[in-house]
Structure 1
């Protein structure tokens, strides 16, 4: 784990910021993983001491969200947890940090993209100033119309920039960060960031954006309440912060009471010339040496069961009935126009909509289409500047984006149903009547070229590029892309012809929300071009079938990428046959058996028994569309001096899979449970249905697969492994 952290450039600069910001408090003096020396001499007695002191019932909470009977659940908790003895109250007296009285600077090295982070001491979580500082951060960076968003990022004055807050129990901090353009210094980026802060300190910002910021919080909370994990996080956060849930949920109401004068006062109090500035320079990083520990292999007995697990398995429960997608009730497919379909899904929880108009048209149909059409995200209209477009959307509480790929283009929106028509109207004006800026496009091209240059120094990007080349050859997206000359010849003058080609293409409409299908259809037909569709539009060619390159006939062929790092990365690829949807159950069994969490072979044999990996994964990946090719893929991240041993074991496990009836039964139980609890939320229904359609299904295929689980035998899976995996060559 420590080696993984040492290979993480963001963690390196972040830890340098914290240790400069907090010289006494554990926030800065004690990282979660500790130092290399800590790991060389772990004190087991101190671990036990820490556990006994802190893992006590009066310092813990049980948080549950789901379809439960609350009174009955309380009875169960009382029955099984009431015997747990209360421990001593956990008290902690934090060290007192000295005030930062001047600008404190530090540098770290890591090859590739440079970056600067500025950190100002802020307010602790329970401070009365937390709310106003939260608002200040959103004025700076709200992802759309913040001062940094509009004045630095969208205007291409820097390659990337933003802000974020941290409100902890004892101290807080406000952060600014920026990544320079080609030829730009980190000092220049720092100056630009501080200039945006200065605008707040002098009151030079548009206070009419404040309701939009508050609306964004309200929408965020509504979205969080849609899911069990979201609800659990709210309850958990209240417990950890030692505040009532009501306080968390009332943030937007408190923000509404904050005035512009309050904001200016707080900005001047907290953003002074007493901050921490850490620069990450494009220089070689020296990795601390961690010796390979002398750990012996642990003998596994995978067919044995502890008394604890036997007791768990003996608990009688009423199985959850699985819920399948009903094509007649859960969504509607409406004939919007000749050959054009609109999908509608009702939102049963709140008034937040999601909407998209999608075309099967992209760079493979019109070269450089995406590079130019991406400029719509930074465009104005006949009456609005680009900044005003973003501000209008933000005031509505709407996120609008235009996305593009090799075979697809889309306009996507989300927000409150009350703003749906206003947002669509504005989105359509930008789509068909955009005012683009040539200098913005040229600056973007410059940033693309700088990113490519930095990527050649980033081992994670290089690994992805090598893997993509091995799989797809010259069709790899790292090779088959616009050249430097082609990028530099791009012009906004191409936009008119591109939109004229796009308007001829067929499209799909997808909406989820609380407006009726009739209302949505009427609004879309009112604003989306072309308004009147009397004959079918063009259907451009679809993405070709995915093919994985067969590069050799050897049992294994190894490709090397040499770089300086703290860990070695092993990726494996085996090309397979074209996807067969009828194999889905066997594929699921194999993936669960081989790498299904802590009970899977990869975790137990590679990580636990031999300590040969920090992280590992493996699985048979079926094609996502009829005609696509399957592949077997795997990954191991390990210490460099364990590479050969880890790779040898990896291949051996693929070729000679360990056989265990107990593992198979665990996989069977896990799959059955996954089907019973695998509820598809309303926003995911239509995308999932469309995915099933690409595989030839016209109904939810899970029902039939689920009914076949009891029939599956261990030998069925082993025969599948022999055919699909163990007999194939790897690269």
Structure 2
């Protein structure tokens, strides 16, 4: 489960047809009846969404799309941290976690025996909360821990997760934000009846069992938040923008004091108040018959009784008359955030605000894009609208280049705001934004998950769906004068600015580790309810495997191989030039790829190229990995020729620009400095070191001296020569392969003979013969621990066993690792373990395991994971759940669109010419636990591991770490290579 900060970068959610852009449409609410139910819909809504309100007030939104036999589901409650009681902040988030613990019908071995113990725990927590004497509190907590252990003997941990896994669900999770708590599942269409049975029971009478270990998981999440400088900046921003509203007065995770003093009775009261049908929306998008589905949902949830929902009231915020300045300290790079306050999401002004955000930043032709990023005046700059029910904000974010002060960053960003207010932006920019919006709408409408997410967001924020569907048409009518007037109305010195500075945060108060006795998880137990759900009939689904010979059309464009899949849904095309050359062949290649965005030709400047691509609703990028470089170009088929010509003009005729190179070098140096302040990057470096040794793919970068010596001509020559290397063309779009090849040939010329690739540097995984500890010091509350063990060479026949092992052992919330580390022992918020398959047939497998925990729990966490990696626990029930999850997931998984092409290359790299998922599906049903045991004993048991640990040396002891293996503290120079 996650607490969601809901940072909205894209400003529009919905779909509309580009080809009908010039036709005046009406987007009106209409009413219709079908299947015995009345619903509302919006005319000209290509999602064909139906909006039902059932007799008890429950909102049901259905958007059918048959592309894949799956359904994205959301059960959304219009309640979040904004409606937390002031005396119990973080409560909505607690409740989100507890909604996974079951009811009196599932999650319990014996409800009659469990209930008195849970009631006692309720009362003990009330005593604990009202007691101030620390000695007495400790005694009460000991009793809580003891009683919780007794109650856990009657609990079945993770039974909800098991039921969802058995029906083939994916993405089991939930999130809490300011005014929403949302429960999410991606299920097979055939499992809809099972899903509804579980959810109807889940919301009937949730039982808050195994509470104190789950509370510890929330503690961990809070401590991770304390280590997250970005979160702290946002919280500081919202506290200053909204001193009267709970957007600013309360945080989603709550205060440390309230975390230490939870009340189960208050949580139950919150559930009874807000989890009522007239405050809940059930959103489905996917493959189903809406006439049938609405009847099933109604039957499942008709028992819910509506109640009057307390209105959230607040004093209106007073105008900000002068900049409000705040500071946040932490180890990550310096930055600033500026926020302006606007009216709420349902207002016309909020729609204009979204447009303003795009005028400032759209990735190509916004004022920030062209004037700050493209000209390399800043390391990065962005602006976006953040819309909520009561208020919205315009957020500006900026990161300095080397030697630049935060005040200089502020001046640069506010300078662009000044240009906006004066109307100093391209007259065609609004039209370009609308065209790009229509393209993104088409792309979103292809994905059933995106549809469901958009509808859910509209429901929780109260935005009228007709306005979202009509957004592109509405924005096309906005004039430049309206934008200028709007900017002058709202944007002056009425902002909050948060300076994120480097340094120790002296205000952090971490949540201390409480003494917790591990509790029973009863893996082998199953409730009668689980068995009844398993026995609900479901339609058989015939799996579909990719046939690379039939599903991919092969053609030629001159000497180039063209592999294509036809897009029969809309006018979007995506084309890729795939080169078998990467940073292992040349460390200059990724630098050249980045340099291109700052270059022009004799005829056009870099800024003009950006504008032209944006006008065409097109984009391109060059991505370089270790051994592959991919040029990706996308747009509308009607603009295909213009888009390809524009790219070819740039790549073939770009000219050296010394000023751009100087700026790029400064940018790269600052980016490299910033990476050394990023704990995730540091851990990634440690893992590479563990796998490959001191010289590894992670630090295979230019040294400082090499970077300084780099010339503009070197990089431009590399860009000009890129097309002379052999490459394959991949295409997904409306044209057939033959049509595409004929059209492409004069646009993308290929030489008669290709240049030989530069010889690559080879990195080989090391053979570990002893336990080692690689340590990096980082100022944080948490400790990040990753186990690494290189294993044997790739073997395609082992794939089914590996898939089942990962599904059983450590790949989800129903697995052994999660149940043990988090549910039973409360040692981590996040934990997992995977046996990783190499991307190529000549590669080797690597076992990785991870625990993110409090520093004072590091030793317990290491011991717990080591036990699992040494002795594989046997659970027939978890094993069967894993098998069923794989089978159901594969039955309903469809590889579509350009994923077919990427799947082909992934198989080809492994030496396969077939879809290996078929082998997994056909093999897994006949596998036994003995197969997993044999695999584990051979590949993992008693193998040496390298422990990669990022933590504060103030919070962990070196002597403790030396117990796990030969200790080595790595410098940032050793990790990063510069």
Do both proteins adopt the same fold according to a TM-score greater than 0.5, normalized to the shorter chain?
A: yes
What pairs with 1:141-220 in structure 2 (closer than 5 Å)? 141-220=361-440
> 1:596 touches 1:667 (CA, 8 Å); kept in 2?
no
In the alignment, is the contact (CA less than 8 A) between 1:94 and 1:170 conserved in 2?
no
1:307 aligns with 2:524: no
Task: State whether residues 521 and 823 of structure 2, in contact with CA within 8 Å, keep that contact through their aligned partners in structure 1.
Answer: no
Paired residues of 1:613 and 1:639 also in contact (CA < 8 A): yes
Q: Which residue of 2 aligns with 1:320?
A: 541
1:501 deviates by 4.1
Q: Which moved more, 1:697-706 or 1:257-266?
A: 697-706
Aligned position for 1:292: 513
Residue 860 of structure 2 corresponds to which residue in structure 1? 645
CA-to-aligned-CA distance 1:400-429 (integer Å, 9 cap, x gap): 122334433332111111111101001011
Alpha-carbon contact 1:471-1:549 (below 8 Å) kept: yes
Matching residue of 2:312: 92
CA contact (8 A) 1:117 1:175 kept: yes
Match of 1:335 among 556, 565, 568: 556
The correspondence of residues 250-649 of structure 1 with structure 2, limited to 5 A, is 250-286=470-506, 287-338=508-559, 340-495=560-715, 497-499=717-719, 501-530=721-750, 533=752, 536-538=753-755, 540=757, 547-551=764-768, 553-554=769-770, 556-649=771-864
Choose the corresponding residue for 1:710, options 905, 912, 925: 925
User: CA 1:229–1:370 in structure 2 vs 1: closer, same or farther (change >3 Å)?
Assistant: same
Q: Which moved further from structure 2: 152-161 or 456-465?
A: 456-465
How much has 1:366 moved relative to structure 2? 4.0
Partners of 1:546 and 1:453 in 2: CA distance: 25
Deviation for aligned residue 1:517: 2.0
Deviations 1:33-60, CA, capped at 9 Å, x for gaps: 0111111111222111111111111111
Who is 2:300 aligned against?
A: 80
SS of 2:601's equivalent in the other structure is coil
Cα separation, 1, equivalents of 2:854 and 2:587: 43
SS in 1 for 2:944: coil
Displacement of 1:500 in angstroms is 5.5
Shift in alpha-carbon separation, 1:439–1:567, aligned structure 2, 3 A: same
2:155 aligns to what? none
Q: Hey, what's the Cα distance between the residues in 1 that align with 2:645 and 2:928? A: 57
Q: Secondary structure at the match of 2:790?
A: strand
Against the structure 1 CA distance between its residues 376 and 457, is the aligned structure 2 distance closer, same or farther, given a 3 Å change threshold? closer
Out of 590-599 and 619-628, give the one that drifted further.
Answer: 590-599
Q: Distance in 2 between matches of 1:50 and 1:658?
A: 38
CA 79–230 in structure 1, closer or farther in 2 if over 3 Å, else same = same
Match of residue 252, structure 2, among 32, 36, 43: 32
Could you tell me whether the CA contact under 8 Å between 1:615 and 1:637 is conserved in 2?
Answer: yes
Query: What SS does structure 2 have at the residue aligned with 1:451?
Result: helix
> Partner of 1:683 in structure 2?
898
Describe the superposition over 1:259-286 as per-residue Cα deviations: whole angstroms up to 9, x where unpaired: 1110000000111111101101121223
Hey, what does 2:873 align to over in structure 1?
658
CA offset digits 1:589-639 (Å, max 9, x no partner) = 100001232210111000001100010011100111111010000110011
Q: Tell me how far apart the structure 1 counterparts of residues 748 and 912 of structure 2 sit (CA, whole Å).
A: 30
Counterpart of 1:133 (choices 350, 353, 358) is 353
Return the alpha-carbon distance in structure 2 between the equivalents of residues 650 and 670 of structure 1: 24
Does the residue aligned with 1:712 lie in a helix, a strand or coil?
A: coil
Between 1:372-381 and 1:341-350, the stretch displaced more is 372-381
Moved more, 684-693 or 68-77: 68-77
Residue in structure 1 matched with residue 66 of structure 2 by the alignment? none
**What is the alpha-carbon distance in structure 2 between the residues aligned to residue 544 and residue 408 of structure 1?**
13
The answer to whether the 8 A contact 2:389-2:462 is kept is no
Distance 2:539 2:759 in 1: 46
Aligned residue number for residue 92 of structure 2: none
The answer on whether the counterparts of 2:591 and 2:715 sit within 8 Å (CA) in structure 1 is no
Question: Is the 8 Å Cα contact of residues 372 and 490 (structure 1) preserved in structure 2?
Answer: no
Q: Given that residues 234 and 245 in structure 1 are in contact (C-alpha distance below 8 angstroms), is that contact kept between their aligned partners in structure 2?
A: no
Query: What do the CA deviations read for 1:56-97 (whole angstroms, capped 9, x no partner)?
Result: 111112111122111111221122221222222353223322
Following superposition, the deviation at residue 538 of structure 1 comes to 4.0
Distance 1:421 1:192, change over 3 A: same
CA distance in 1, matches of 2:678, 2:910: 37
Structure 1 pair 167–377 and aligned structure 2 pair: CA distance change class (3 A): same
Partner of 1:102: 322
Distance 1:725 1:370 in 2: 36
Q: TM-score, normalised by structure 1?
A: 0.96
- More deviation in 128-137 or 402-411? 402-411
Q: Aligned equivalents of 1:70 and 1:542: distance in 2? A: 58
SS of 2:898's partner is: helix
Kindly state the Cα deviation for residue 543 of structure 1 after the two structures are TM-superposed: 6.2
Aligned to 2:187: none
Taking the aligned partners of 1:704 and 1:406, their CA distance within structure 2 comes to 29
Q: Which residue of 1 aligns with 2:442?
A: 222
- The number of residue pairs the alignment matches comes to 725
The residue aligned with 2:128 is: none
In structure 1, what is the Cα distance between the partners aligned to 2:863 and 2:627? 40
Query: What's the secondary structure of 1:161's corresponding residue?
Result: strand
Contact 2:585 2:761 in 1 (8 A): no
The yes-or-no answer on 1:722 pairing with 2:942 is no
Contact in 2 for aligned 1:360/1:507 (Cα 8 Å): yes
Give the superposition deviation at 1:698.
1.2
What's 2:915 paired with? 700
Question: Secondary structure of the equivalent of 2:642?
Answer: helix
Cα deviations across residues 300-324 of structure 1 (Å, max 9, x unaligned)?
A: 2111111221221110111222121
For 2:678 and 2:623, the matched residues in 1 are separated by 26
- How many angstroms apart in 2 are the aligned matches of 1:448 and 1:499? 18
Shift of 1:184: 0.9
RMSD (Å) for aligned C-alpha atoms: 1.7
Distance 1:666 1:539, change over 3 A: farther
CA contact (8 A) 1:199 1:205 kept: yes
Task: Give the SS at the match of 2:661.
Answer: helix
Q: Which residue of 1 aligns with 2:182?
A: none
The answer on whether the counterparts of 1:145 and 1:390 sit within 8 Å (CA) in structure 2 is yes
Helix, strand or coil at the partner of 2:338? strand
Deviation at 1:455, TM superposition (A): 2.9
Q: Report if the CA contact (8 A) 2:811-2:832 is conserved.
A: no
> Equivalent residue for 1:673?
888
> Aligned with 1:199: secondary structure?
helix
Structure 1 residue 14, shift from structure 2 partner: 1.2
SS of 1:92's equivalent?
A: coil
CA change 1:305–1:366 in 2 (3 A) is: closer
The 2-side partners of 1:100 and 1:236 are apart by: 32
Rate the CA distance shift 1:156–1:424 in 2: closer, same or farther, 3 A. same
Tell me, what secondary structure is at the counterpart of 2:286?
A: coil
